[in-house]
Structure 1
C-alpha cells in the first residue's frame, strides 16, 4: 500500500450505520461518511477516494447509481455494495452498471467486512500509484487476436455472438463444460459466455474456479434464473463481468462484449490491474469432478494455468 493512508468513503442514509462503520474502521485510513449519494459522487470527483462502500436503498440516489457514477469519474476506486435487500434487480445492476468488487449483505460480519475493504484499499492504492506512473499511450485494439468461447448447448447464443463481433474475434462454440475447459486449456481466451441453467450446477461452480486460474478472462453469464443468491456468489467468488437475463437483449449483449474485450486488452498489457479481479474462496469445492472426462479437462486447464505462471 502507498505511504499515505487510504481514503475510505461510506454512504448510508442511516446515521447509526455510519456511526458503526466509523467505529469499525477507526485508525484504518481516512474515513469519510455521508448520507447523500450526490455528495459522495462530488467527493470522488474532487479528490482521490480509494474505496466507496454504499448502501443500496437510499432516497434520491440508489447505491447502484452512486457506484455507477463513481466508476465513471474514478475507475481506480474500488466499489462495494452493502445492503440488507438482496433483490435481483439491484444485484444485477451492481454488476452491469457499477462493476462492483463485492456485494456484502447486512447485517455484516465485521471481520469479513474489514478484510474485504482493506483488501480493496490495497488494490486501489496500487492502481492509483500505477496510473500516476503509467505513460500515456495509444489505446489497445481490443479485437486483435481475441478469442471468445460460448458455452451453449444448442448453439443459438454462439450464433448471436458471432453476429455481434467483428471478424477479427474468433468465436468458438462449446456445447458442454468439458468442451469449454478444453478450449481454455489450449488457448488464451478473452471472454467466456456461459448459459447457466442451474444455481447448483457445474457451470456456476466452474466460473468461480476459472477466475482463480485465469483472472484475465472475463465471464458473461446468460440465465433465465432470477436468483440473487446465485448472482451474489458469482460476484464475490467469480467476479462475473456481466449478468444478462434470458433472452439476452441484443444491444446489452453487444455492449457487454465490447466492454469485456476492452477490459481484457487492458488486463493483458497492465498486469497490475489483475488484482482488481481477486475473488473470495469458493464456499464449496467445484462439483465439476463428477465424471472422469470432466476431471481430466479440469486437470489440463490447471496444468496450463500453472505453466503460464511459471
Structure 2
C-alpha cells in the first residue's frame, strides 16, 4: 500500500522520530522543501503533509503554498517549535493549514490529528470530481484549480444569488460605517457592535462571509467564533483586528478554522479581494458541503463517538 503521509523537516532526528511513530504508514520524508515538492509530483496519492516552518531556502509556509498547487486535496499541517506571530498568520493566510502544532508534540494528539486528517482527505477524494484530482501526469496546478472552479461555478450559478449577505462585527462605530460604505455596492451588509447582537443576527440569517474584530467587550474571541462557526460551518470567517496574539491565532486555526487573519492597518484592495474569495468559497461549500473540512470533521467525530471541537 503506498504511503499517504509526507513529513518535511531539516532535522534528521525529527524525521526519524516521526517515521518511527507512524511506521505502519511507511511515510515519505524529506529534509528539503525542494525534494518534498518532487515527492508530491510523483505521488499524488499523498493525503497529509506535515512540515516544519524554519528550514533552509524555503519556509514551511512557502512550501505549503507550493504544495497546495500540486495537491490541493492533501491536508496541510505545520509542526514547529516556534509561534512567532508572522509565522502563525502566514500559516493561515498563505499556507492555509488545517492544524498548527507546536513542538515538542503530544504523541497521542499528533496520532489522532493525523488519523483524522487522513480520513478527511479520503472523503474529499470521494467528493471531488475525478478530473479535478491531482495525478502524477497533471498538466499544471493552474489547470486543476481552473477545472475545479468551473465545476463549482456551474453548480452554484443556478441558485446562489449574486449579491451575497455578509456580516461585519466591530465595537468601533467608525469601523462599521466605513466597512458598510466599502461593501454596500456588492454585498448585503449587516453590522453588529457586539458579540451578543452578532449571534442574534446569525440565528436569523445565514451569511456568505463574516468580518470580525477580536477585541470585543466582555468576549472570549475563541469561544465566540466557535459559536459563530456552529451556526453555519460553511461561512468563512475573516479576522480583521489590531490584536496581535499568536496564542489566540493558533487556537483560531485549530479550533475554528478561520479563513484569514488580517492585521490593521490593511490595504483596501487586499480586504476587498479577501472578502470576494471568501464569498466564492461559501458558494462552493453551499453547493457541495462535503468540500468543507469543518463539516467532514464533525461527521467523522460524531461517527467515532467523539464530539467535534
Task: Point out where structure 1 has 5 or more consecutive residues left out of the alignment.
Answer: 281-310
- 8 Å CA contact 1:239–1:279 kept in 2: the answer is no
- 8 Å CA contact 1:158–1:171 kept in 2: the answer is no
- State the match for 1:9 in structure 2: 6
Which has the higher mean CA deviation after the structures are superposed, 39-48 or 187-196?
Answer: 39-48
Between the aligned partners of 1:120 and 1:199, the Cα distance in structure 2 is 35
For residue 192 of structure 1, the aligned residue among 194, 205, 210 is: 210
Which has the higher mean CA deviation after the structures are superposed, 69-78 or 231-240?
Answer: 69-78
Shift, 1:275, TM fit: 2.9
- State the match for 2:42 in structure 1: 46
Shift, 1:54, TM fit: 0.5
- 8 Å CA contact 1:143–1:261 kept in 2: the answer is no
Between the aligned partners of 2:249 and 2:187, the Cα distance in structure 1 is 28
Describe the shift of the 1:41–1:200 C-alpha distance in structure 2 as closer, same or farther (beyond 3 A).
Answer: farther
For residue 35 of structure 1, the aligned residue among 31, 35, 45 is: 31
Matched, 1:84 2:102: no
For residue 225 of structure 1, the aligned residue among 239, 243, 253 is: 243
Between the aligned partners of 1:81 and 1:269, the Cα distance in structure 2 is 29
For residue 69 of structure 1, the aligned residue among 57, 66, 69 is: 66
Shift, 1:138, TM fit: 5.8
- State the match for 2:151 in structure 1: 137
Which has the higher mean CA deviation after the structures are superposed, 103-112 or 271-280?
Answer: 271-280
For residue 107 of structure 1, the aligned residue among 104, 108, 114 is: 104
Matched, 1:120 2:117: yes
- 8 Å CA contact 1:196–1:221 kept in 2: the answer is yes
- State the match for 1:202 in structure 2: 220
Shift, 1:164, TM fit: 4.8
- 8 Å CA contact 2:167–2:210 kept in 1: the answer is yes
- State the match for 1:95 in structure 2: 92
Between the aligned partners of 1:277 and 1:248, the Cα distance in structure 2 is 31
- 8 Å CA contact 2:194–2:216 kept in 1: the answer is no
Which deviations, in whole Å up to 9, do the C-alpha atoms of 1:254-284 show, x marking residues without a partner? 222122111111110111112356679xxxx
Matched, 1:275 2:293: yes
Shift, 1:72, TM fit: 2.3
- After TM superposition, the score normalised by the length of structure 2 is 0.82
Between the aligned partners of 1:134 and 1:181, the Cα distance in structure 2 is 40
Query: Partner of 1:196: helix, strand, or coil?
Result: coil
- 8 Å CA contact 1:212–1:279 kept in 2: the answer is no
Between the aligned partners of 2:200 and 2:30, the Cα distance in structure 1 is 49
Query: Partner of 1:251: helix, strand, or coil?
Result: helix
Query: Partner of 1:103: helix, strand, or coil?
Result: strand
Between the aligned partners of 2:222 and 2:5, the Cα distance in structure 1 is 32
- 8 Å CA contact 1:12–1:35 kept in 2: the answer is yes
Task: Point out where structure 2 has 5 or more consecutive residues left out of the alignment.
Answer: 133-149, 299-309
